[in-house]
Amino acid sequence: MLFSLDLLTPKFVAFEKLNNELLYFLEHAVPVGDFNRTCLSAGAIGKACWDNAKRPKGKEKLTKDKFQALHCELQKLTQADRQRLFETARDNQNLQGLFEAPNHQLLTFLTLGCFTALKELSSHLYCSTKSLQPVIDACGSVTINAHFENFKRVNGEVCRACGLERIAPFRADTPIEKQWRADYDHLLCKSKYPIYAVHPNNLFPICQTCNQDAKKAEDMFFCHSKKRPRAAFYPFTESAQDYVKLALKNDRDPEVCIQLSWLTDDALIQAKLKTWDDVYQIKKLVEGRFISLANIIEDELKAVSLDDLQANIAREVARPPSAATLKRKPEAFWLHKLYSYLVSIDLAPIWEQCHFIEEEHGEPGAEFILRG
């Protein structure tokens, strides 16, 4: 994560209650017995899950059916393994502790059938059960869209993972329930860590690029391409923002390019930075954004001379973006990092190169259009 999440980030009540329901079910599935109403809690959430079953002629398995399928698979395990599953889920609810001592083999003792049933139930709780009207009613009528708006009020509109994009556009004159919202990223993906599919500290919205294009089902604790464990930042207490720097690439590209690198010698932090980069492809995204320094100078700094360029950069460095600006304005963090580097180097060669590129490409299109 580029920015840590605010410690006052509101938890989505439906996730909290469904996570507790899953723990209740796993505990009460330890003894040998049939699947019945007592396998779920007596409260409103347990009732909502029990009542959400497929109709006699229905084909789609709903919440109750998913619980029953997992119960069936659990009964094929030894009682010791059922107890182990419950204790694994119960004793690893503190995600900060888990990130301090990563364990990507939490559920390797389960049979394939049991793991698959657990994954299908957990995914269903996240995708569908959270939106059942009885569940919403039991959670004080707070919907996922309402929680998303509350999340933005505390953490802002900029993606906490990359700092480059908004998590979702806001539309005027549109009620909360009809606003577009970002998908919630499972920090520990639900396909590999299904016991955290509805854990409230494992879910928060990030931009589409980070969630759907980059991360997908990447494992924060294990690099499958290199078959080795890895460490990762815990987003509520850690971030990368103090350990990154931008500088010119030392190569022979015809156009000046910027390179992102790490600003730390700490081996553990370097490992976490690498995971952040591997999972969200941060270096490629940032370097892609700043691949044309000439465009940055024209579009952002609007310099008309070398002296003007130097003055504009000095002014930007002297006025770093506020915490509020970083939450509102995509790229603000990275632009300030860039300016902080540029102010320390000789800008004359860069200015000359930018002019060379402009002359090579001909008359700027905007000036041509403005003149008609």
Per-residue confidence (pLDDT) for residue 121, from 0 to 100: 98
Per-residue confidence (pLDDT) for residue 361, from 0 to 100: 52
Of 62, 100, 107, 65, the C-alpha closest to 86 is 107
What's the whole-number mean pLDDT along residues 124-144? 96
Do 156 and 2 form a contact (C-beta atoms < 8 A)? no
| pLDDT at 138 exceeding the cut of 90 | yes
Q: For the segment 173-183, what is each residue's pLDDT rounded down to a tens digit? A: 999 889 899 98
Residue 108 CB: number of other CB atoms within 10 A?
Answer: 8
Rounded to two decimals, the pTM is 0.90
CA distances, 284 to each of 72, 216, 248 (Å): 46, 16, 15
CA distances, 283 to each of 13, 110, 117, 166 (Å): 35, 37, 37, 18
Give the span between the Cα atoms of 127 and 121, in whole angstroms: 10
Instruction: Determine the number of helices (DSSP H) and then strands (DSSP E) in the chain.
Output: 17, 6
Per-residue confidence (pLDDT) for residue 352, from 0 to 100: 84
pLDDT confidence tier of residue 366, bands split at 50, 70 and 90: very low
Per-residue confidence (pLDDT) for residue 294, from 0 to 100: 86
112 or 364: which leads in pLDDT: 112
Q: For the segment 216-253, what is each residue's pLDDT rounded down to a tens digit? A: 999 999 998 889 999 999 999 999 999 999 998 854 55
Per-residue confidence (pLDDT) for residue 263, from 0 to 100: 96
Of 219, 188, 215, the C-alpha closest to 203 is 188
Of 26, 87, 21, 69, the C-alpha closest to 48 is 21
Q: For the segment 303-331, what is each residue's pLDDT rounded down to a tens digit? A: 999 999 999 999 999 999 999 999 999 99
Per-residue confidence (pLDDT) for residue 2, from 0 to 100: 97
Q: For the segment 31-85, what is each residue's pLDDT rounded down to a tens digit? A: 999 999 999 999 999 999 999 998 877 778 899 999 999 999 999 999 999 999 9
| pLDDT at 365 exceeding the cut of 50 | no
What's the whole-number mean pLDDT along residues 6-10? 94
| pLDDT at 4 exceeding the cut of 80 | yes
Do 68 and 62 form a contact (C-beta atoms < 8 A)? no
Q: For the segment 271-310, what is each residue's pLDDT rounded down to a tens digit? A: 999 999 999 999 999 999 998 888 898 899 999 999 999 9
Which residues make Cβ contacts (< 8 Å) with residue 98, sequence separation at least 6? 92
Residue 142 CB: number of other CB atoms within 10 A?
Answer: 14
Task: Identify the H or E element spanning 49.
Answer: helix 44-51
String of DSSP letters for 229-246: E-----TTT--SGGGEEE
Per-residue confidence (pLDDT) for residue 249, from 0 to 100: 80
